[in-house]
Amino acid sequence: MRARLFCLGIVAAFSLLSLAALAQTGNVQVKDIWARATPGGAQTAAVYATLQSTAGDRLTAASTPVAKETQLHTMTMDGGVMKMRQVDGIDLPAGQTVALKPGGYHIMLMSLAHPLTEGQTFPMTLTFANGGTLTVAVSVQKVGAMGPGDSGSMPGMNMPMEHH
Q: What is the pLDDT along the chain (164 residues), one digit of tens a residue?
A: 544 444 434 433 333 333 332 334 368 999 999 999 998 889 999 999 999 999 999 999 999 999 999 999 999 888 889 899 999 999 999 999 999 999 999 999 999 999 999 999 999 999 999 989 999 999 999 988 888 876 444 444 333 333 33
Count CA atoms within 13 Å of residue 148 on its CB side: 15
Which one-letter DSSP state was computed for residue 71? E
**Interatomic CA distance for residues 142 and 38, integer angstroms:** 8
Q: Total structural domains in the chain?
A: 1
- The domain that contains 48 carries what CATH number? 2.60.40.1890
Residue 2 lies in a domain: no
**Interatomic CA distance for residues 15 and 34, integer angstroms:** 26
- pTM of this prediction exceeds 0.95: no
Residue 123 lies in a domain: yes
Q: Where are the beta strands (DSSP E) in the chain?
A: 28-36, 44-53, 57-63, 67-78, 81-87, 90-92, 97-100, 106-112, 121-128, 132-141, 161-163
Residue 119 lies in a domain: yes
Residue 89 lies in a domain: yes
The parent domain of residue 91 ranges over 27-163
